[in-house]
């Protein structure tokens, strides 16, 4: 049986998009791994499924699956790609509409320059809500992990994030420290680990080691997490450009009680059929 899909990317963070509206079984771990393999499959950072939404006022829903078949609760670059897919399909009408995401309803704005702005919710710093094992909430935590003393901020942006400040983004031990934090037991549901270098008060460079995927060219929720953590630590402004290996995102967090907003591109790469 042929399974139709769209290949898309947002700032280099790449996806396979499946339309599951009208029913059909959810992708299992074996299918996700087969599709996600970059040598024998299509290749992706995450698999996105377009779903019927039962939330009033939402154009559609979507779900997110990592390369290893595990489910994720948010993906900012994926949200923009879902929005662009639905606009092309005619199921969503610009300039404003809502989507039903795994972590709740999000607002989408289609911009005149072809980019999309999505609201990813209010950053959550309470350890039990991330979830993160800590005695009390702090702007920065210290822990000895795999024989190294690490300092990092922790926040949930629909999914858990740790953010480490580094002096040189190109030399950051992303895979080593990312894997160490993921395996530390401090984050019971896993964690996306961001490495941020401050270039100016309104500009940072970022690399992200994602749970279930490894390092990706971009991570939208990770960009929001990095800005939120660094704002809370008093290091940067509430609006900044975040430069990732795959491109640039604009992130804004107007107040402590406001949703973080992300603006960036969404691109179609090709359409295909997977022979199951």
129 is catalytic: no
Triad 222, 267, 38: Cα angle to 5°: 75
Q: Please state, in angstroms and rounded to a whole number, the distance separating the CA atoms of residues 228 and 163.
A: 10
The bridge status of strand 58-66 relative to strand 96-101 is parallel
224 is catalytic: no
Q: Which two tokens stand for residue 46?
A: 């995450």
**62 has which bridge partners?**
50
Residue given tokens 């639905």 in the structure block: 86
Of 58, 81, 129, 219, the catalytic one is: 219
CA nearest neighbour of 87 among 55, 111, 119, 63: 111
Q: Are 105 and 55 in contact (CB under 8 A)?
A: yes
Based on its alpha-carbon atoms, the radius of gyration of the chain, rounded to whole angstroms, reads 18
Q: Please state, in angstroms and rounded to a whole number, the distance separating the CA atoms of residues 30 and 38.
A: 15
Q: Are 266 and 220 in contact (CB under 8 A)?
A: no
Q: Are 166 and 204 in contact (CB under 8 A)?
A: no
Q: Which residues 6+ apart lie within 8 Å of 261 measured at CB?
A: 117, 118, 119, 120, 251, 252, 253, 254
**Cα distances (angstroms) measured from residue 194 to each of 47, 182, 206:** 21, 12, 7
Of 75, 81, 110, 224, the catalytic one is: 75
Q: Please list the active-site residues.
A: 75, 219
């Amino acid at each position: 049986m042929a399974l139709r899909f769209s290949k898309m990317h947002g700032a280099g963070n790449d996806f396979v998009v499946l339309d599951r509206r009208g029913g059909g079984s959810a992708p299992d771990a074996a299918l996700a791994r087969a599709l996600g393999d970059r040598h024998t499959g299509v290749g992706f950072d995450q698999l996105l499924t377009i779903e019927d939404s039962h939330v009033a006022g939402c154009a559609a829903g979507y779900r997110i699956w990592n390369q290893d078949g595990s489910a994720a609760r948010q993906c900012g670059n994926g949200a923009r790609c879902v929005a662009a897919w639905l606009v092309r399909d005619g199921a969503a009408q610009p300039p404003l509409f809502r989507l039903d995401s795994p972590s709740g309803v999000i607002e989408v704005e289609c911009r005149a320059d072809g980019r999309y702005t999505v609201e990813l919710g209010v950053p959550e710093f309470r350890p039990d809500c991330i979830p993160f094992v800590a005695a009390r909430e702090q702007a920065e935590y210290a822990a000895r992990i795999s024989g190294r003393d690490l300092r990092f901020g922790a926040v949930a942006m629909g999914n858990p994030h740790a953010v480490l400040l580094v002096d040189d983004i190109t030399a950051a031990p992303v895979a080593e420290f990312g894997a160490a934090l993921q395996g530390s037991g401090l984050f019971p549901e896993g964690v996306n680990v961001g490495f941020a270098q401050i270039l100016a008060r309104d500009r940072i460079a970022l690399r992200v080691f994602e749970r279930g995927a490894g390092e990706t060219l971009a991570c939208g929720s990770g960009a929001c997490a990095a800005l939120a953590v660094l704002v809370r630590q008093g290091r940067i402004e509430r609006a900044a450009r975040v430069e990732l290996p795959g491109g640039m995102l604009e992130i804004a967090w107007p107040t402590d009680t406001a949703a973080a907003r992300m603006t960036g591109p969404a691109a179609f790469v090709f359409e295909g059929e997977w022979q199951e």
